[in-house]
């Protein structure tokens, strides 16, 4: 199948019920002089471009939670999955997770969502880590190149998605984990206005103030998941000087930085994951903008998983002995450590207790705050993925139950290489979730006559929809996560 785009023609694959176009460039390769610049237009082509194979992932090193590795900066591509049915369809644009340093759009097979719900799904790449969020005094406007890439992908959707049967006036941006953080950025970014009409934030953490140890035993506490541009420039300048890339007073610093090998940059990629504010892309701190209600007037669906922190704690679970649990609490909560411990005693599993502390005090508490903040400004729907028997998305250590861990819901929405080993009841939940999400993309309300009612979240009626194979309905979110206790801290 050949489709005409504004940049040229592309040839995709045709299956029985859907079409798939992969590796379509939506911006020029950010290489050479275009490294650490805003995304530039694609150079048009005159031939029929092959779009039957995935494009290259953006530069990243393989991690325990993500086996993909790449050193190729020519990565600003996207995939389109569309059903083979007539009519103009809602468009769902997926921003993948991966901690801001890992992942690729092509890893998420969206044909089940597209075919079953008659929607068009777009899965883009965007620059990651040091390539997407580096800042330096010699690079004015830095710190949010990855957000700009996503804006370029959304503008591509607006110009081209009708060629695939998509409706450019019904675009839902949705993302999980770091993709959820990024989705929130577009709710406050001036350059994203008008490019999305619904948004879904899945296990995002835009309002989180993570205590020490939230993402690992050596991770410091943070006051915000966003970074001021001035602070980022200072960090970037210090690292660049320490590694011999460029001196702060070097008039050719920008050119020198753009010549640093990819492999060297990847060595510090994890330092640069917090999007910067104070520039043109994000003029104000997104967390403060959300708390003040300064967000786009589009319906938002927001939620998380029942046991978010277990994914992160699993990485060092065996190290969390009884003494180590006490040390983690002391580092994270200082003089309040004993009070937290009284609420979350170590019992026979200090590691599981630490995961409960973080799932409630960091993840659920910030999600609850986000639901309240968004609902004060726009129509908001809350949910919690609650299947504690969900198959783990990565191997977990023996003796540590994955529960409804961070990212567990993703295999219900997409196929990651192959269908997940779900039971019949879990497959029914997967179908219900995709129907809810598609209905939300179609109308701005996830309610569906064939599924349990899903009221909007309001401060007066803070409804959170529990998504479980045996029951879909209201969750007692605040009680389940002891939010009365955490709100007093």
Strands 166-176 and 120-124, by their bridges, are unpaired
Report the distance separating Cα 29 and Cα 75, nearest Å: 7
Residue 449: per-residue pLDDT: 81
Q: Under 8 Å CB-to-CB from 291, ≥6 apart: which residues?
A: 207, 369, 373
**Residue 439 CB partners (closer than 8 Å, separation 6+):** 445, 446, 447, 448
- DSSP 8-state assignment for residue 172: E
**Cα dihedral 177, 179, 181, 184 sign:** negative
pLDDT tens for the chain, 489 residues long, are 999 999 999 999 999 999 999 999 999 999 999 999 999 999 999 999 999 999 999 999 998 777 899 999 999 999 999 999 999 999 999 999 999 999 999 999 999 999 999 999 999 999 999 999 999 999 999 999 999 999 999 999 999 999 999 999 999 999 999 999 999 999 999 999 999 999 999 999 999 999 999 998 878 999 999 999 999 999 999 999 999 999 988 999 999 999 999 999 999 999 999 999 999 999 999 999 999 999 999 999 999 999 999 999 999 999 999 999 999 999 999 999 999 999 999 988 999 999 999 999 999 999 999 999 999 999 999 999 999 999 999 999 999 999 999 999 999 999 998 889 999 999 999 999 999 999 999 999 999 889 999 999 999 999 999 999 999 999 999 999 999 999 987
Instruction: State residue 308's pLDDT score.
Output: 98
Contact (Cβ atoms closer than 8 angstroms) between residue 124 and residue 150? yes
* Sign of torsion over alpha carbons 370, 376, 381, 387: positive
Distance in angstroms (rounded) separating the CA atoms of residues 381 and 401: 29
Active site annotation includes 177? yes
Beta pairing partners, 101? none
Q: What does the pLDDT read at residue 417?
A: 87
Between CA 80 and CA 105 the distance in angstroms is 10
Question: DSSP assignment, residue 468?
Answer: E
Options 406, 463, 468, 481, the catalytic residue = 406
Which of 356, 38, 437, 377 shows the shortest CA–CA distance to 184?
Answer: 377
Q: Of 419, 356, 367, nearest to 225 (Cα)? A: 367
Other C-beta atoms closer than 10 Å to the C-beta of 403 total 25
For tokens 């729907």, what's the residue? 381
**CA terminus-to-terminus distance, the chain:** 58
CA–CA dist 170, 438 (Å, integer): 11
Catalytic pick among 308, 369, 384, 409: 308
Query: What's the distance, CA 161 to chain centroid?
Result: 22
Catalytic choice (126, 177, 375, 466): 177
* Structural domain that includes position 483: 2-487
pLDDT value for 61 = 97
Q: Are 13 and 78 in contact (CB under 8 A)?
A: no
Q: Which residue has the tokens 């970074």?
A: 227
pLDDT at 232: 98
CA distance 75 to 61: 15
Answer for the pair 168, 162: CB distance below 8 angstroms, yes or no: yes
What radius of gyration do the chain's Cα atoms show?
22
Q: Is the Cβ–Cβ distance between 397 and 380 less than 8 Å?
A: no
CATH for 99: 3.40.50.1820
Backbone angles phi and psi of 471, in degrees to 5? -160, 125
**Between helices 178-188 and 145-160, what is the axis angle to 10°?**
70
* Total domains in the fold of the chain: 1
Bridge-based pairing state of the strands 18-25 and 380-385: unpaired
The three-state secondary structure class of 32 is helix
DSSP 147-163: HHHHHHHHHHHHHHGGG
Number of H helices, E strands in the chain: 17, 16
Q: Can you give the pLDDT at residue 3?
A: 98
Q: How many CB atoms lie within 10 A of CB 17?
A: 12
Give this prediction's pTM: 0.98
């Amino acid at each position: 199948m050949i489709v005409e785009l504004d940049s040229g023609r592309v040839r995709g694959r045709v299956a029985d019920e859907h079409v798939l176009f992969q590796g379509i460039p939506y911006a020029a390769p950010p290489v050479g002089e275009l490294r650490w610049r805003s995304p530039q237009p694609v150079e048009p082509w005159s031939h029929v471009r092959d779009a039957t194979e995935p494009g290259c992932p953006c530069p990243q090193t393989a991690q325990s939670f993500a086996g993909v590795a790449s050193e190729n900066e020519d990565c600003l591509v996207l995939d389109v999955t569309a059903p083979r049915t007539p009519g103009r369809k809602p468009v769902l644009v997926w921003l993948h997770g991966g901690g801001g340093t890992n992942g690729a759009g092509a890893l998420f097979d969206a044909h089940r969502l597209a075919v079953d719900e008659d929607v068009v799904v777009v899965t883009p790449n965007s620059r990651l880590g040091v390539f997407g969020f580096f800042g330096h005094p010699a690079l004015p406007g830095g710190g949010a190149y990855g957000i700009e890439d996503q804006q370029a992908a959304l503008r591509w959707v607006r110009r081209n998605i009708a060629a695939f049967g998509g409706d450019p006036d019904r675009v839902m941006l949705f993302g999980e984990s770091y993709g959820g953080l990024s989705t929130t950025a577009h709710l406050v970014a001036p350059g994203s206005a008008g490019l999305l009409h619904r948004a879904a934030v899945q296990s995002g953490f835009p309002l989180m103030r993570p205590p020490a140890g939230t993402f690992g035993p050596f991770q410091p506490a943070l006051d915000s998941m966003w970074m001021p541009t001035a602070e980022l420039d200072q960090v970037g300048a210090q690292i660049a000087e320490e590694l011999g890339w460029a001196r702060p007073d070097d008039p050719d610093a920008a050119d020198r930085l753009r010549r640093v090998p990819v492999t060297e940059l990847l060595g510090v990629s994890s330092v640069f994951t917090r999007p910067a504010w104070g520039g043109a892309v994000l003029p104000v701190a997104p967390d403060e903008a959300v708390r003040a209600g300064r967000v786009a007037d589009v319906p938002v669906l927001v939620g998380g998983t029942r046991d978010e922190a277990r994914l992160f704690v699993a990485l060092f679970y065996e190290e969390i002995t009884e003494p180590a649990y006490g040390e983690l609490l002391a580092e994270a909560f200082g003089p309040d450590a004993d009070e937290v411990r009284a609420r979350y005693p170590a019992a026979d599993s200090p590691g599981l207790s630490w995961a409960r502390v973080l799932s409630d005090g960091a993840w659920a508490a910030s999600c609850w705050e986000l639901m309240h903040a968004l609902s004060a400004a726009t129509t908001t729907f809350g949910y919690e993925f609650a299947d504690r028997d969900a198959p783990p998305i990565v191997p977990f250590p023996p003796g540590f139950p994955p529960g409804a861990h961070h990212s567990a819901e993703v295999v219900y929405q997409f196929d990651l290489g192959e269908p997940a080993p779900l039971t019949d009841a879990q497959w029914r939940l997967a179908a219900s979730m995709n129907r809810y999400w598609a209905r939300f993309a179609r109308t701005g309300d996830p309610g569906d006559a064939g599924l349990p009612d899903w009221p909007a979240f309001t401060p007066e009626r803070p409804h959170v929809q529990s998504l479980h194979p045996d029951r879909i309905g209201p969750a007692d979110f605040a009680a389940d996560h002891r939010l009365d206790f955490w709100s007093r801290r």
